[in-house]
A = this chain, B = another copy of it.
Amino acid sequence: MNVFVVGVGLIGGSMVLDIKSYYPEAIIYGIDTNEAHLEEALKLGVIDKRVTLDSLDIADIVIVSIPVDVQLEIIPNILDTINDDCLLIDVGSTKEQICNVLEKHSKRRNYLATHPIAGTEFSGPSAAHRGLFDKKTNIICEVEKTAFKLQEKALEIFAKLGMRIRYMDPKSHDKQIAYVSHLSHISSFMLGKTVIDKEKNERDIFDMAGSGFASTVRLAKSSPAMWTPIFEQNKTNVIETLDEYISNLQQFKTLMEQNDFSEIYKEMESTNHIKQILKGIK
């Protein structure tokens, strides 16, 4: 089995590491525009061979794990190149635009749109590791547009990797993921910015930071190259979540200004319900 991974970072790299362990006969071919990453992936055993897009005709499976703006351009070309039995999977954090772009492609049935909810704040081949997808949710969009045999192939792999599958349409995916993922990243980045700006005047402020602060700003370590095109592609939905978040913060501030601390207590108490919700998240 010839497995190609386009983008040898956290998600693509971890996926082929798992695939190699469950399918020892698989040969993993790595493609990346970043030479250093490609060398590193080879050295770390994430990939077996480094190749270019020209070799794609021998692929049985292609996993595309690159920034969502770049994949809009590259995936149609990859689809043109692969053979008729080859499965192409993308793992991007936005699904509407890529599904639109591929809608009329003659090889649409070779493509499966997925979004494994398994990212972390780390990136690059050194972040790749086995078991990343165990018990994680994988969202599959427009499953009916993929050839049935290729659906089966993909689902077998996802099952071995330990993933829970959830089916959604691309529009709902992008709308909902803005709330539970994209907004968290902006909240984290802007929290980090607010405190870094303050540190310029108040030296050593970070000596006072504990694990709570670390937790809320953890996502501000994330890669701008990956996240900028996600925010761009999901602009309308993300702005909607930002509007609601800012309005909730403003309301909290107004309650403080009005000394309405009993209402602040109630707000926090009702949000404590998040305890039950978070229990299900590994």
Contact = CB atoms under 8 A, between A and B. Distances in A.
Contact of A221 (B195, B238, B248, B278): B278
A189 B270 CA distance: 10
The 6 A-B residue pairs whose C-beta atoms are closest, nearest first, are: A224-B268, A117-B210, A180-B209, A184-B216, A192-B274, A190-B248
12 contacts: A117-B208, A117-B209, A183-B194, A186-B249, A187-B249, A189-B268, A192-B271, A196-B274, A216-B218, A221-B275, A222-B272, A235-B256
Contacts of A277: 196, 206, 209
A119 B227 CA distance: 31
Interface of A: 117-121, 136-137, 139, 166, 172-173, 175-177, 179-181, 183-198, 202, 205-222, 224-225, 227-229, 231-232, 235, 238-239, 241-246, 248-250, 252-253, 256-257, 259, 261, 264-275, 277-278, 280-282
A219 B210 contact: no
Contact of A186 (B137, B172, B252): B252
Contacts of A120: 211-212
A184 B261 CA distance: 18
A213 B275 CA distance: 13
Tell me the dominant secondary structure on chain A's binding face. Answer: helix
Contact of A253 (B216, B221, B243, B281): B243
Nearest to A278: B214
A228 B193 contact: no
A238 B256 contact: yes
Contact of A139 (B184, B193, B208): B208
* Centre residue among A206, A210, A241 by max chain B CB count within 10 A: A210
Given A207-B137, A208-B117, A215-B216, A224 B179 contact: no
Contact of A267 (B180, B193, B275, B281): B193
